[in-house]
């Protein structure tokens, strides 16, 4: 089929509710496929990592951001631009180390859990949104920033907020290129 001349290509966006419900179905299927929560968590992380290494190209093309000069700028960019762009929320950022390489993204509202009330008792160690950790880790790796990304707090587990911890694994001076 051809498009009529002069007609702009439309940018189709998936509805947030459909995405959240689809994600819930994915996690439910993984819980059926794997007996251990650790296996589900690892699978979600791997899936997120694969998404992150591809998503960074879209992010850089659509956001027109400039190069970040520090880890704090990178953490702010993730929170203020990336989360807003892809999930419609803006987490707050706090630095949790004196060395400046550990940050927390604190989400007052996590859109991935809109239709989830609580985790079943037999799935207490499930990290329902572990896909987000993989996405962040994969995207950071593609811009040559090795990081460890984990959930520190989760509302689904009774915590007051959802908190994602990002620890950059190299010191800033390790990133400089030698000539």
Domain map of the chain by residue range?
16-117+126-168
User: Is the distance from CB of 47 to CB of 131 less than 8 angstroms?
Assistant: yes
What are the structure tokens assigned to 83, written together? 């989360």
pLDDT computed for residue 2 by the predictor = 54
Nearest-angstrom CA–CA distance, 77 and 93: 10
The pLDDT value recorded for residue 178 is: 47
- For β-strands 147-153 and 92-95, DSSP reports them as unpaired
Identify the residue with better confidence: 118 or 104. 104
Report whether pLDDT(56) > 90: yes
Give the model's pLDDT for residue 96.
78
Strand partners, 166: 103, 149
Mean of the pLDDT values across residues 159-167? 94
Q: Are 76 and 63 in contact (CB under 8 A)?
A: no
Please tell me the distance from the alpha carbon of residue 134 to that of residue 50, in angstroms, as a whole number.
8
What is the chain's Cα-based Rg?
Answer: 18
* pLDDT band for position 163 (cuts 50, 70, 90): very high
CB–CB of 97/171 below 8 Å?
no
Q: Which of 59-63, 118-122, 166-170 has the lowest mean pLDDT?
A: 118-122
**In percent, how much of the chain has pLDDT > 90?**
66
Whether the per-residue pLDDT at 1 is higher than 70: the answer is no
Q: Which fold would CATH assign to domain 16-117+126-168?
A: Muramoyl-pentapeptide Carboxypeptidase; domain 2 (3.30.1380)
What is the value of pTM for the model shown? 0.86
């Amino acid at each position: 089929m051809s498009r009529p001349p002069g007609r702009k290509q439309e940018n189709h966006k998936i509805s947030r509710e459909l995405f959240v419900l689809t994600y819930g179905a994915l996690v439910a299927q993984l819980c059926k496929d794997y007996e251990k929560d650790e296996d589900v968590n690892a699978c979600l992380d791997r899936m997120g990592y694969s998404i992150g290494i591809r998503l960074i190209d879209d992010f850089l093309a659509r956001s027109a951001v400039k190069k970040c000069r520090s880890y704090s700028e990178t953490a702010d960019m993730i929170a203020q631009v990336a989360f807003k762009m892809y999930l419609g929320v803006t987490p707050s950022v706090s630095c949790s180390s004196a060395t400046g390489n550990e940050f927390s993204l604190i989400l007052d509202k996590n859109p991935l859990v809109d239709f989830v009330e609580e985790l079943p008792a037999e799935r207490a160690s499930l990290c329902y949104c572990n896909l987000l950790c993989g996405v962040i880790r994969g995207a950071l790796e593609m811009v040559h920033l090795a990081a460890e990304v984990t959930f520190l707090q989760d509302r689904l587990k009774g915590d007051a907020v959802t908190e994602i911890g990002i620890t950059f694994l190299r010191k800033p001076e390790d990133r400089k290129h030698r000539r």
